[in-house]
Structure 1
């Protein structure tokens, strides 16, 4: 296929490849810095894992549903694109665990499941008496050298016992990474825990001190935030803001290859269109970024090709509210994998978000999640079977016997990058090699964290580097 060319730019032209929240946040930052931006998204939809939809006429999030408000980046972006008045915290704050045959309250005083005090564990019933006793032994154990990195599960099991990992850390980390707690890097996934473990001989004492400092330093307000109508509104609002600043946002535009030119780059799409650019920013999952970097940065491409991903499915269901009155008045529950259910969590959306409940007071919406890294066989099941499996598990955990009036399943294949031990070293090597190519940067969930604020921060950092270097000289 012959290549057609769009008009050549004058200066400061950037092509952002990828229309998830990272790419959109980067485009917004770049247009705010005076750059001309064209964003290219391969699919027909913007937002990636931020996806607002509906079920039985009720608006819902079909992907990510909340953002950490204690980190400012995502909330500030929402305000910058006109969604400030639509920000809303969860209506329900309590969550449960289904473990050891019952729904149990999530213990307080922990950091990603790592307890600072054994007393709440004993009161919750999440651990056995032997498990709680094992946690109490931590203060008597000698310090353990961490080295440059360590698997969260391995270290915590050595200090506090496997029950803490299997029944607390794993389900909480699973809600973020859908990964194996024993393989996930402590430095990459929970850096504050890594620092606490290095600073104190006792892990529980270190966590307790960290929680105390965090409480003193935390800004007022909710820990998490949503958006009335769904977090999926955020990428669409960002795209509108980019367009309002003169940027172009194009869907159905998969990129075939990058070509270096004397003045910068040509970004060539599958239909043969070439977009000249002073700079290119890749906001793509690792496999797609690796493909585009293979010719000019083979070392970075090889590193990215080694990144593993977890796939998950979300089953969203709407029930008649009168038929689910016995459900707990909480935001939902997590399920440790050792407890043998298909689902790993359920969110009671109508309890958690006032805007969901208000959309139809006669309906109750909830969703379940299925799939973990290395344990994704259930995702091969048909949608209807995933719904039935979810209903079976809901009945086991809560006693729910009602049938949904509507259901839908969204599959996020390769949705969550894994952060194993050594991940930060991999990221540093990728960035070092990419930085050798003038006018090229990378950002996204694979580098600095999978949460929305982390993705926005990654995008802003990459955009700022381009604005301060390549584009400043253009």
Structure 2
């Protein structure tokens, strides 16, 4: 990367090699995955120099490993969707193969109607293929309402529709309120009645357009999955925590010659001149000066041929305000939800948990916590490392329901303990507690989100050598963020195949918390 001396205007590279100079802005998993793909995909014919700028003093974004009572635990996302190749593949590429581990148990529950009830089987993000497994979760009236799906005329979906509104119209509100809502909430911390079906459950959206009833669409998805004979765990964890993945990727980036600069917040992005305004994303013209200049909050200046922006939407909007005002305006319209994780450690001799990995909580029941994960039971490595402890994670906060997040840490801990007492009779006093707050942690995908993302990329297509990636675009899950990063890098190489594939077949987010 060429860093410009702002006093003299002269540029200096890290070495004398030719090749593309690429600046990746953002050190979350998307930015790190982009840097890794740039470096591992380079060749003598297409050499590349990569610099990652991270504003904070920590890499990983929403992936964060920590400790409580001396026990290692994730303080952010805790599992990887294994039915997609991106996240597990990246973990293997950076040397974590031996640490990949499936959950010790996949049995989960729903705390609803004043009881802990087994999570029904045979659903797609809470939408059932039959009503057979829903007794107890739904009322008798709710079960009868599901049968009306077969009698209703087909519903026109149009370009997009809210998941909750569509499912409620076909199967009744109880299915949404007691199944779809808590499952979607576990992924987006959002409101099912405004979340885009096309974005959040793309398989179901496409099948619902092909079948006259919703449950027929669900059964078609299930039949296809059975025909494909998908085997193995749905989710994988990493011994030591999924939060250790970013540092492993960062180490691989450095070993491949990449540079990671911490504590430098990019504040402006602009063209250095017009000489290469028509340069394509594929290959900068040899011997020309880099096209883009990025200035950081501290005054450092970095010049690059190409820039990958792997930032949350508000930060990306601020950075692009001059280079692409229209893209910036679209990015500013993306809303975020905040949440908090309350992690509790108990003396195993004084506390007892029911079987399973944890439970989800439908908001309609008026509880404060949205989910609880029995981390010591879900992950064998936690139990093995801490035979004297039981670790429990609970979550609070979702879009439109963030008032509890104004409470201090002690109050949140007390609320979590009270709900755990009511749900599972856990009365023991924890030996330690830890509250981790994720302010504006999860982007929201309302109806029309895919169209907004398309507009953003159309505006940015007018800027040669600029690509974006991350949770704000193609999915909030870890595989989705990595797939987005890979597509951005391929786009800079002039290959739009991955971007087109991602648009046609979004990486479906599945619940990776207590529920599965």
Q: TM range, normalised to the smaller chain?
A: over 0.9
Instruction: Give the superposition deviation at 1:469.
Output: 7.0
Instruction: Give the superposition deviation at 1:467.
Output: 2.4
For each residue in 1:239-286, what CA deviation from the matched residue of structure 2 results, as whole angstroms up to 9, or x when unmatched? Answer: 000000100011111111112113411111111111110000000000
1:7 aligns with 2:12: yes
Partner of 1:456: 482
Partner of 1:22: 30
**TM-score, normalised by the number of residues in structure 1:** 0.97
- Which residues of 2 match residues 90-109 of structure 1 at below 5 A? 90-109=103-122
Instruction: Give the superposition deviation at 1:447.
Output: 0.4
8 Å contact from structure 1 (residues 370, 378) kept in 2: yes
**2: distance between equivalents of 1:244 and 1:420?**
40
Q: For 1:323, what is the secondary structure of its paired residue?
A: coil
Flag the structure with higher helix content. Answer: 1
Q: For 1:372, what is the secondary structure of its paired residue?
A: coil
- Which residues of 2 match residues 54-133 of structure 1 at below 5 A? 54-122=67-135, 125-133=136-144
Unpaired runs of at least 5, structure 1: none
8 Å contact from structure 1 (residues 11, 278) kept in 2: no
Runs of 4+ with >2 A deviation: 1-6, 8-11, 467-470
Instruction: Give the superposition deviation at 1:219.
Output: 3.4
For each residue in 1:297-342, what CA deviation from the matched residue of structure 2 results, as whole angstroms up to 9, or x when unmatched? Answer: 11100000000000000000100112222x2111000000011111
**2: distance between equivalents of 1:309 and 1:281?**
22
Q: For 1:119, what is the secondary structure of its paired residue?
A: coil
**1: distance between equivalents of 2:8 and 2:38?**
27
**1: distance between equivalents of 2:8 and 2:231?**
55
Instruction: Give the superposition deviation at 1:402.
Output: 0.6
Counting matched residue pairs gives 467
**1: distance between equivalents of 2:8 and 2:63?**
33
Q: Alpha carbons of 1:454 and 1:72: their partners in 2 closer, same or farther (altered >3 Å)?
A: same
Unpaired runs of at least 5, structure 2: 1-5, 43-47, 274-289, 497-516
**2: distance between equivalents of 1:310 and 1:134?**
32
The equivalent position to 2:448 in structure 1, one of 422, 431, 439, is 422
For each residue in 1:371-420, what CA deviation from the matched residue of structure 2 results, as whole angstroms up to 9, or x when unmatched? Answer: 01011010110011100000000011111101100010100000000000
Partner of 2:510: none
Q: Which moved more, 1:416-425 or 1:200-209?
A: 200-209
- Which residues of 2 match residues 279-290 of structure 1 at below 5 A? 279-290=306-317
8 Å contact from structure 1 (residues 3, 272) kept in 2: no
**2: distance between equivalents of 1:332 and 1:4?**
58
**1: distance between equivalents of 2:40 and 2:386?**
39
Partner of 2:234: 223
The equivalent position to 1:193 in structure 2, one of 179, 204, 208, is 204
The equivalent position to 1:313 in structure 2, one of 327, 331, 340, is 340
8 Å contact from structure 1 (residues 33, 467) kept in 2: no
The equivalent position to 2:62 in structure 1, one of 28, 49, 70, is 49
Q: For 1:130, what is the secondary structure of its paired residue?
A: helix
**2: distance between equivalents of 1:58 and 1:197?**
45
Partner of 1:442: 468
**2: distance between equivalents of 1:277 and 1:16?**
10
**2: distance between equivalents of 1:230 and 1:56?**
16
Q: Alpha carbons of 1:222 and 1:469: their partners in 2 closer, same or farther (altered >3 Å)?
A: closer
**1: distance between equivalents of 2:319 and 2:350?**
52
**2: distance between equivalents of 1:162 and 1:218?**
33
RMSD (CA atoms):
1.4
Partner of 1:354: 380
8 Å contact from structure 1 (residues 5, 274) kept in 2: no
Q: Which moved more, 1:2-11 or 1:89-98?
A: 2-11
The equivalent position to 1:292 in structure 2, one of 319, 322, 326, is 319
Partner of 1:207: 218
Instruction: Give the superposition deviation at 1:6.
Output: 5.6
- Which residues of 2 match residues 324-339 of structure 1 at below 5 A? 324-325=351-352, 327-339=353-365
Q: Alpha carbons of 1:469 and 1:164: their partners in 2 closer, same or farther (altered >3 Å)?
A: closer
8 Å contact from structure 1 (residues 5, 275) kept in 2: no
- Which residues of 2 match residues 110-259 of structure 1 at below 5 A? 110-122=123-135, 125-259=136-270
Partner of 2:292: 265
8 Å contact from structure 1 (residues 3, 273) kept in 2: no
**1: distance between equivalents of 2:250 and 2:119?**
38
**1: distance between equivalents of 2:317 and 2:74?**
30
Q: Alpha carbons of 1:221 and 1:3: their partners in 2 closer, same or farther (altered >3 Å)?
A: farther
**TM-score, normalised by the number of residues in structure 2:** 0.89
